A and B are shown apart, each in its own frame.
Chain A
Amino acid sequence: MTLVKDSVMTSLESVKDPEIDTVSVIDLGMVEDVSFEDGHVSVKMLPTFMGCPALEIIQKNVEEALYKVEGVDSVEVKFINNPPWTSDRITEQGHVRLREFGIAPPPTHSDSGEWHVDCPYCGSTYTTMENIFGPTACRSILYCKGCKNPFEAMKPVSTIM
């Protein structure tokens, strides 16, 4: 039983964000609850951004991964809205892996609403915001004056906003 649960977690760890293949759904803090009983796995997940077109793909990939686990006969994957996903759910490992991919992890949001990110390539703090809306809803585009590279950053989202 615990063995199956371990394999379930390992298999969730193997499901990556379709667009950032170094980062798993666990790293992103999208998995809220996993339960296992009599061969049935039920997973509750939190959508990051609601307009995110990757959600359906992620759901399908999670289902496929879980069906491959020995001892699993049926799978239910559900997106729920409570608690809301916030960017501080991304794990430390998630931060490391995002940087590896060239995406700056989300900074914490200050009360003034201002936020700042360092360059994921060279670590320089001399960066400017180019476009708050990046190629997907959850990312922004910035420019590093240090190494003169454009880069993307995960947007901070929190309930205080």
Chain B
Amino acid sequence: MKTVEEAKQDASYKSALTELLYQLADDDFIVAYRGSEWLGLAPHIEEDVAFSSISQDTMGHATMFYQLLEELGEGDADHLAHGRTPAERKNAIILEEVNGPGHYLKEPRYDWAFAVVRHYFYTLAKKIRMESVKQSSYEPLQHVAVKVNMELYYHHMHWKTWFMQLTGTQGEARERMLTAVETVLEDFGGVLTLGPKEDEITKHGLIEGEEFQRKRWLQEIKPIFESLNIEMPKALGMKRGNGRAGEHTEDLDSAIDTLTEVYRQDPAATW
């Protein structure tokens, strides 16, 4: 097991570690941002409270991962979150996708089915990753994972309930859910990949390999799909590219633009 100092002295280890941390941080950061855009638009007031609480937690997790990067000498955590260009980001493409047509200030036509499916599938994947990094060779990451995992318990329960209830009905709700499932799966391989540096990441015992993670995810989702009579996916795709390799869509550009507007005005301000 390695400490911060030990990691800093081992160039190959550090490079694999920072790669993984960027993936974890950037995923949480962008999905929390997309979640926060729902504020005031969720189906009912209780959901508004719950969803914003989940998004706030998730942003807190992103901050923790950026702080781990800061400790390793990657720069100020605030800058890592707000100051990096889209091409430098390692998040999966499905997490950057807009919530739906329209803008959250004017005529948002957000898709709740898409939100439920994306957040449920992502939370499940994150749970698998956190359980895996609880055994990571990097000690500070282990500690963060234990903490994240406890909070994730509630997020997972929340999204699973929505997923089961909406998909378990008949008619429009189910149809829209099935369409969303299809859309999300087409790019969900992007969440469950470790990208071009997978070998280095697994070689150093930082997290289990992507094949393992994919299997675990499918294994967890299987009983849910079966109980709802949904066909198991034949593949988990990366239709629009691999975010871990820096491939992204316009949706990320505009998100980063919006969310860094305030930051760029005065990068030295404290929040």
Which residue of chain B has the shortest Cβ distance to A133 in the bound complex? Answer: B50
Nearest chain B CB to A100 CB, angstrom units: 24
Report the count of interface residues on A (CB-CB < 8 A).
Answer: 26
Answer whether residue B153 sits at the interface, using C-beta atoms and an 8 A cutoff. Answer: yes
Q: Is the CB of A51 within 8 A of B59?
A: yes
The secondary structure that dominates the A interface is loop
Q: Which residues does chain A contribute within 8 Å of B64, judged by CB atoms?
A: 50, 81
The secondary structure that dominates the B interface is helix
Q: Is the CB of B150 within 8 A of A157?
A: yes
Cα separation A22 to B82 with both chains bound (whole Å): 37
Q: A51-B60, A52-B60, A81-B144 in contact; A159/B54 too (CB < 8 A)?
A: no
Cα separation A82 to B141 with both chains bound (whole Å): 11
| Residues 141-161 of chain A, each 1 if its beta carbon lies under 8 Å from chain B, else 0 | 100000000000001011101
Report the count of interface residues on B (CB-CB < 8 A).
Answer: 27
Cα separation A158 to B149 with both chains bound (whole Å): 10
Q: Is the CB of A50 within 8 A of B49?
A: no
Answer whether residue A49 sits at the interface, using C-beta atoms and an 8 A cutoff. Answer: yes
Answer whether residue A74 sits at the interface, using C-beta atoms and an 8 A cutoff. Answer: no
Q: Is the CB of B57 within 8 A of A159?
A: no
Residues of A within 8 A of B (CB): 47, 49-53, 81-82, 84-86, 113, 130-137, 141, 155, 157-159, 161
Some 17 contacts from A to B, beta carbons below 8 A apart, are A50-B148, A51-B57, A51-B60, A82-B143, A82-B146, A86-B150, A130-B46, A131-B49, A132-B50, A132-B154, A132-B157, A133-B51, A133-B154, A134-B53, A137-B56, A155-B154, A158-B150
